[in-house]
Structure 1
Amino acid sequence: MTDHFPGASPDTETAVSASNDGRVADATARNWVDRFTPRPLRPWLRLSRADRPAGTWLLLLPCWQSLALAIAATDWRIDDFWLFLAMGLGAFLMRGAGCTWNDITDRNIDGSVERTRSRPIPSGQVTAWGAAVWMVAQALAALVILLTFNDFAITLGIVALLPVAIYPFMKRVTYWPQIFLGLAFNWGALMGWAAHTGGLSAAPVILYLAGIAWTLHYDTIYAHQDKEDDALIGVKSTALLFGGRTRRYLVGFAALAALGAGLAAVLALSGPSLAVALAGVAAYGAHLAWQLWRLDIDDVETCLKLFRRNRDTGLILLAGFLAAGFV
């Protein structure tokens, strides 16, 4: 293997040594990328956020939640096991491709923000051209997996590229870029149902809308990490829009997320399976309320920790829907 992937900056080694061996500032402690992967691979995996897995979970969980709800509403099929695995692989790849695209479009912004200036492109570990090649490679690998789904789900998967493509630009034109992130990150709420049933109904659409409210909740918390830098460089976010009123908005988003998930269960299920699913929804809502109780929008470390805990929030709802399928 050569010292650098095609497209890596010739100043990579200098940049890496100057930034704690290239580690990204908000990478998960003791993450597998920085601990176990060969050094030449690390900039590319960092570009895909593999060292920060929370986003992959947040992209994947709506897929699994929707698939679990569809199974509870109908029945298990042998290919559902493949769908769970395929969605996991696809989420990893498409989150990587989406983050790479985001970093390409934000390469002139990230260097001005304390938390993001250590990312591979602004720190000189990877060139924009190399990142583009890496993005296409990840997207093509995801396409191979998508082609194993039914025709309707394949069509939905291709349409999903539209919100992914436009999201990075929204922070330049609106204080609500989190809505566009929600449109992209919760597409799996449609995909999971479609992959199992071959179509859509009201339940997955409501689950999708509930997921957008959930994204507004967790990504507003996330955006409070960067609000001072964002204000200086003119990047917009709901964190800047809400300011000191953030908590009251988050209460509304959390309520919409929980009520929407409950309504999706009511539309899809009945009897004991509905009761089990609603118990999961109640626990999901309680975890969102716990986050609001712990929130301090002026504490960067707390904001990052609470953002990451949304993996657990989504897993709680998934567990409820999965359990409903066994009743």
Structure 2
Amino acid sequence: MSDATARVADATGNWVDTRAPTWSRPYLRLSRFDRPIGSWLLLMPCWWSAALAAGVAHDIRQLPLVILLFFVGAFVMRGAGCTWNDITDRDLDARVERTRSRPIPAGQVSVTQALAFLVVQALIGLIVLLQFNRVAVATGIASLIIVAIYPFMKRITWWPQVVLGLAFSWGALMGFAVILGQVDLTALVLYAGSISWVIGYDTIYAHQDAEDDALIGIKSTARLFGARTHRALIVFYGLAVVLIGVALVLAGARWSAWIGLAAFAGHLVWQIKRLDIRDPALCLRIFKSNRDAGLLLFAGLLVDAVLRTV
């Protein structure tokens, strides 16, 4: 077994590397607690939908607890998903410069240990899910099918980002299921808008590995779009803003929600203008900035939910 203190190549100087107990570091890295941006991006559609559904219901009494439970659930289930991804991708990760230092290919954790850790995380996620109503529980369990198949998509389709979008946007359905007890048209349109957003930001992320992916035959929208990435982002980010706007109309959202959407849209425009796909470090920074874009929209939706109860 390799040294557990060895760091992952693209995640250095974080609290896991410097403060976490040595024995725990490989497991925290499997869960990406050294790189929490993915958990935040999984969380954003959850918070959007919870706030929007609370506004529709004109009732924010559940909202603080739902926001907290979604926070815990997003971090735990993203960790479980990343652990599953690392188990299935361990041979591919060993062949890519950025990922070969991950715990399994680096020999810090065995596959058996990773599987056991996956079960623990999934059980914690189940405990969180069981705090909700039956519709929400069923909706949450249904997402596991997409999560399970996602790691294999990069081997068979140029569009694995679509499948990631289906998984990472599932929270857009969960908020309505939790607060309203149903998944209606508004939730589905919000879900579609979030999928478009995910396709855009994960295309940016995938440009970090485009050269290595080409060598080992991994497919992605980054490789598919190539030099046309900026135009593709205009399409997908534009579609995201339009679809989320339609969801706001269907939900009867007020001015603060529209300000949040405008700020979200402005951030996406900035990303497109700033992006240079030849600069992997810049691609990573712009990808990470999507947390801020998501929080801008959430702030507008949260204010809207509060104002609708006054």
Q: Which residue of 2 aligns with 1:150?
A: 133
Mapping 1:1-327, distance limit 5 Å:
11-13=1-3, 16=4, 21-27=5-11, 29-269=12-252, 273-327=253-307
Percentage identity across aligned positions? 55
Give, as a single letter, the amino acid of the residue that structure 2 aligns with 1:276.
S
Q: Distance in 2 between matches of 1:78 and 1:32?
A: 34
Displacement after TM superposition at 1:80 (Å)? 2.4
- Which structure 1 residue ranges, 4+ long, deviate > 3 Å from structure 2? none
- State the Cα deviation string for residues 34-89 of structure 1 (Å, max 9, x = none): 12110000000000000001000000110000000011112234332221111111
How many corresponding residue pairs?
A: 307
Offset, 1:276 = 1.7
**Helix, strand or coil for the counterpart of 1:322?**
helix
Q: Conserved in 1, the CA contact under 8 Å of 2:210 and 2:222?
A: yes
Query: What is the TM-score normalised by the length of structure 2?
Result: 0.97
Between 29-38 and 213-222, the greater mean CA deviation after superposition: 29-38
The structural deviation recorded for 1:132 is: 0.6
Q: TM-score, normalised by structure 1?
A: 0.92
What amino acid does structure 2 have at the position aligned with 1:143? Answer: L
Counterpart CA distance in 1 for 2:94 and 2:241 is: 37
Q: Which amino acid aligns with 1:25?
A: A
Matched to 1:316, the amino acid is: L
CA distance in structure 2 between the aligned counterparts of 1:219 and 1:293, rounded to whole angstroms = 17
Tell me if the contact between 2:42 and 2:171 (Cα under 8 Å) persists in the aligned partners: yes
TM-fit CA distance, 1:213: 0.4
Secondary structure in 2 matching 1:325: helix
Distance of 1:22 and 1:204 partners within structure 2: 43
* Offset from partner CA, 1:295-323 (integer Å, 9 cap, x none): 00010000000000000010011011011
- Aligned mates of 1:260, 1:313 — CA distance in 2: 16
The alpha carbon displacement at 1:142 in A equals 0.5
- Do 2:55 and 2:305's aligned partners in 1 also have CA atoms closer than 8 Å? yes
* CA shift for structure 1 position 326: 2.3
Contact 2:60 2:305 in 1 (8 A): no
Helix, strand or coil for the counterpart of 2:306?
coil
Q: Distance in 2 between matches of 1:103 and 1:239?
A: 21
- Matching residue's letter, 1:307: F
CA contact (8 A) 2:51 2:63 kept: no
Residue 293 of structure 1, CA deviation = 0.6
Q: Which one is further off, 180-189 or 77-86?
A: 77-86
The secondary structure found in structure 2 opposite 1:318 is helix
Measured in 2, the distance between the counterparts of 1:243 and 1:145 equals 40
Secondary structure at 1:225 match in 2: helix
Aligned partner of residue 112 in structure 1, secondary structure: coil
SS in 2 for 1:253: helix
Output one character per residue of 1:280-302: Cα deviation in whole Å (capped at 9) or x when no partner: 11111110000001000010000
| 1:137-176 deviation per Cα after TM superposition (whole angstroms, max 9, x unaligned) | 1001110110110000000010010100000000000000
Structure 1 unmatched runs, 5+ = 1-10
